[in-house]
Amino acid sequence: MGLQAYLTLAATVFCIGLFGVLTRRNTIGILLGIELMLNAVNINLVAFARFSGSATGLIFTIFTICITVSEAAVGLALVILLFRVRRTVMADHLDLLKG
Amino acid sequence: MTNDPGVIALISLLLPAAAFLILAIVAPLRRLGRPGAYVSILCATGAFVTAVIAWQGHADGLVSKLAWDWLPSQGTSLATVGVLADGDSTLMLMLVTLVALLVQVYSLGYLYDERPPALGRYYTYQSLFAFSMMGLVLAPNLLQLFICWELVGLCSYLLIGFWYQKPEAARAAVKAFWTTKAGDVGLLIGIVLLWRQAGTFDLTELRMMVTSGALPLAGLSLITFCIYLGAVGKSAQFPLHVWLPDAMEGPTPVSALIHAATMVTAGVYLLHRTSWLFALTPDVLALVAWIGAFTALLAAVLACVQDDIKRVLAYSTVSQLGYMMAAIGAGLSAAGFFHLLTHGLFKALLFLGAGAVIHAVGSNDLSRMGGLSKRMPQTAVLFIVGTLSLAGIPLFGGYLSKEEVLGAVLAGNQIGPFVLLMVVAFLTAFYMFRVVFLAFFAAPAARVVSGFGATHASPLHNPSHGGHDGPAKAGHYVPHDPPASMLLPLYVLALLSLGVGVYSTVIGRVMSFGPVTSGEEHAPLWLTPAAVGLAIAGIALAWLTYQRRTIDAARLAAAFGPIRRAALARFWLDDLYEGVLGIALFTFSRIIGWLDRYLVDGVLNAVSDRTVSAGGVLRLIQTGRAQDYIYGVAVGLLIFILWMRWALA
C-alpha cells in the first residue's frame, strides 16, 4: 500500500469528523467529531513519517495525542458546566452570540 | 504755518480721528465719561478752527489737492486717498465741524445723567462720525467718498441705537441701516460702472474728461441713476424715506447732527459734487427733480399730522431734502447746496431747541406741552428764529436759499415740481407754526384737539417712548430754560441763521459760489412775494387754528379726512414695505425650510434608513450558533482551495 491509501483514509476520516461537527446537535457529539478530525491529521503525520523516513512526524503525533487528550478533558468539563448553567447541551440552544 | 488749505483741511480731518482713536483705545479714559467728552470736544474745536482757516485760505480761489497712492496695481495705483479742498468742500467742512462741535457741547448738558461709560461710548461714536463725515466731504475720489459714506452710515446706526436697551431704538437702528444700505448698493454699482467707463475714481480727472467730452455717453444714464440711488437712500428721498422718522429714537443731539444737518445731506452733497456728470443725463435729472418735489410734498403732508415734535422735524427734514434735490434736478445744484448749508444751520437749531423742550417737559408729545414761552422764554425765542428761517421769512437764512431753490426750479423749466414746491412752502409754514403755537403758546392744561393729528397718536408711533427721551420727570417739575451748555449752541446757531440772512439780504451775496447765477437773473418778480405770501398764509392758518381757535381744528381735520387718515398711516408705505418684505421673507423661508426638511434632511434620512434596513438583513447571517460559523469557515476554505487549484493550474 502506498502513501496515497493512507492519505485517502485520513481525508475520509477528516470529512466524517467535519460532518459530525457541522451536523450534530449534541455538544458531546461535536467534541467527538473534533477528535476524529484531529486523528485524521495524526494518520497523515504518521504516514508521512513512515514514507519519508524522518521521525519528525512521529514526534508531532505524540504532541497531538497529548493535546487531544487535554482538549477532550477541558471540552468535557466545559460541557458539564454548560449543562449545569443552561440545563442543556444542545448546540442549537446556545446562540447568545446572535446578532 | 502753511497757507495751503489742503494741509489745513487735512489737519482738521485728522483731529477727530485722533480723538476717536484715543477714546477707542484708552478704555479707562472712555469709561470716565466726562474727561473723554472733553477730549472729543477739544478736538472738534480744533477741527472747526482749522476748517475756518482752510475756508479762508481758499478765498483766493485756490484749489488744493493732496493725494497719496493707494491700491497699487501694475505700477500705477488704482485709487488715491487724500483731501480735495475747494470752495464747496471747505464750506461744507465748516458746517460739519461747526454743527459737530455745537452738538458735542450741547450733549454734555443733554446727556448729563447718562452713566459715564455710556457717555464715553457716545463721544467715541461722535468723534468717529465727525471724522467720517469730514472724510466724505473732502474726498478727492469716489472710492474714498464711498468708504466714508458707509462709515457715516455705521455711525448713524450706532447712534440711533445708542439706547439699545429700548426695543424701538434697536429696531429703528436696524431699519435705518438696511434702508440706506439698499441705496448704497446702487451707489457702489454706479461707481464701479463709472470706473469701467472712465478708468478713474478721481473727481478732478472725471470732471476734466466730462468737460473735454472724452467720457462716452453710452450707458451714462444708468450710471448716474445708480449713483442717484445712493443719494435716495442716504438723503431719505421717496421711496426710501421711511427710515428717517424712525431714526428719531436716537438722542436728540444725534438727530440734530446726523439726521438733519450733515449725514442726510450727504446725498445732496454727492449730487452737487458730481453735478457736471448729471448734467450729461437730463432724463435722470428730471427724475431727480420730480422725486425731490414729490418727496417734499409727501413729507410736508406727513409732518402736519404728527404729534411727536421730533417727528414733525424729521418729516420737515425729509421735505427740505426734497427741496434741495429738486434744485439739483433742475440743473442748478449750487442753489441746492446753498439750501443745504442754511438748512444745516436752522434745522440743527430747531432740533436742539426741540431737545431743550423735551429735556424740560420729559416728553416728545406736543399735547403734553403748551404755554412753554413763559417757562422757557429763551428757548422759545430761539426756536421761533429757527422756525421763521425754515418757513422762509425774509431776513432769515432759510428765506434766501428757499428763493434760490424755487428760482432754480422755475429757471430749469420744471413747472410740475415748482408747483409742488410752492404748496410745500405753504405747508411748511403751517406745520412748523402748529408746533410753535402748540408747544409754546397754547394753554398748557387744555387737552387740545390737535388739528390733523387729533387726539390719538399715529398707530405706528409708540406713545410711551417719549418718556424715555430726556431725563425730566414730568409732573413734579416746572419746565425751565436749559443750562448754559445747551443754550450756548442754540444762540450760536440762531445768530448764524439770522446773520447769514441779514448779511446777505442787506449787504449782498457773500458766498463765493454762485447761487446768484440762477434765481436772481431768471426768477420773475412775482416769485418772492408769492413764496413769502404762501409762507405767511401758512402761519396765519396755524395761528387761526391753534392760537385763536377761530377755525375749529377738528373741522379742519374733517375737511381733509381721507388725506389725514392716509397720512396718519404714513400713506401705508411702512406697512407696504413691512408686508412685502414680510411676505417675501416668509415665502423665502418657507422654500428654504421645505428644502431643508425634505431635501437635505431627506437625503440623510434615506441614507440612514437604508443603512438600518441593510443591517437588518445582514444580521440574519449572525445566527449565534457556533456550527453555522464553522460551516462558513469550511465552505470558505473549500472555495479558497478550489480557487487556488484553478488559479495555479
B513-545 tens-digit pLDDT = 444 444 444 567 777 788 888 888 888 888 887
B267-282 tens-digit pLDDT = 999 999 888 888 888 8
**Partner residues linked to B555 by β-bridges:** none
pLDDT band at B444 (very low <50, low <70, confident <90, very high): low
B566-606 tens-digit pLDDT = 777 777 777 788 888 888 888 999 999 999 989 999 999 99
Task: Tell me if B625 and A96 make a contact (CB, 8 A cut-off).
Answer: no
B215-273 tens-digit pLDDT = 787 888 899 999 999 999 888 888 888 888 888 888 888 988 888 888 889 999 999 98
Dihedral sign of CA atoms B96, B98, B99, B103 in order: positive
Is pLDDT at B472 greater than 60 in this prediction?
A: no
What pLDDT score does B451 carry?
Answer: 39
Comparing alpha-carbon positions, the chain B residue that sits nearest to A15 is B634
SS3 B558: helix
What pLDDT score does B65 carry?
Answer: 82
Q: Domain A3-88 belongs to what architecture?
A: Orthogonal Bundle (1.10)
Task: Tell me if B627 and A95 make a contact (CB, 8 A cut-off).
Answer: no
B375-406 tens-digit pLDDT = 788 888 888 888 888 888 887 878 888 888 88
Closest chain A C-alpha to B619 CA, distance in angstroms? 5
Closest chain B C-alpha to A59 CA, distance in angstroms? 28
| Partner-chain residue, chosen from A22, A23, A98, that has the shortest CB–CB distance to B623 | A98
What pLDDT score does B506 carry?
Answer: 62
What pLDDT score does B640 carry?
Answer: 93
Q: Give percent helix, percent strand, percent coil of chain B, each to the nearest 5.
A: 75, 5, 20
What pLDDT score does B250 carry?
Answer: 85
Closest chain A C-alpha to B614 CA, distance in angstroms? 13
Comparing alpha-carbon positions, the chain B residue that sits nearest to A94 is B625
Among B149, B13, B152, B145, smallest CA distance to B79 is for B145
In angstroms, the Cα distances linking A8 to A14, A22, A86 are: 10, 21, 40
Residues of chain A contacting B631 with CB distance shorter than 8 Å: 22
Work out the end-to-end distance of chain B between its first and last CA atoms, rounded to an integer number of angstroms.
105
Task: Tell me if B626 and A94 make a contact (CB, 8 A cut-off).
Answer: yes
Find cell 497529548 and name the residue: A66
Is pLDDT at B150 greater than 60 in this prediction?
A: yes
Task: Tell me if B627 and A91 make a contact (CB, 8 A cut-off).
Answer: yes
| Partner-chain residue, chosen from B619, B623, B630, that has the shortest CB–CB distance to A21 | B630
| ipTM (interface predicted TM) | 0.84
- Mean pLDDT, rounded, for B173-182: 89
Q: Which of A10-19, B179-188, B431-440 has the lowest mean pLDDT?
A: B431-440
Task: Tell me if B623 and A94 make a contact (CB, 8 A cut-off).
Answer: no
Task: Tell me if B619 and A22 make a contact (CB, 8 A cut-off).
Answer: no
Residues of chain A contacting B622 with CB distance shorter than 8 Å: 97-99
Closest chain A C-alpha to B595 CA, distance in angstroms? 37
Comparing alpha-carbon positions, the chain B residue that sits nearest to A98 is B624
What pLDDT score does B478 carry?
Answer: 66
B25-54 tens-digit pLDDT = 888 888 888 888 898 999 999 999 998 888
What pLDDT score does A45 carry?
Answer: 93
- On average, the pLDDT of chain B sits at 82
Is pLDDT at B448 greater than 60 in this prediction?
A: no
* Cα–Cα distance for residue pair B69/B512, rounded to 1 Å: 31
| B150 Cβ neighbours under 8 A, 6+ residues apart | B184
Find cell 440545563 and name the residue: A87
| Partner-chain residue, chosen from B621, B622, B627, that has the shortest CB–CB distance to A22 | B627
Is pLDDT at B99 greater than 70 in this prediction?
A: yes
Q: Which of B4-8, B131-135, B207-211 has the highest mean pLDDT?
A: B131-135
- Mean pLDDT, rounded, for B451-480: 43
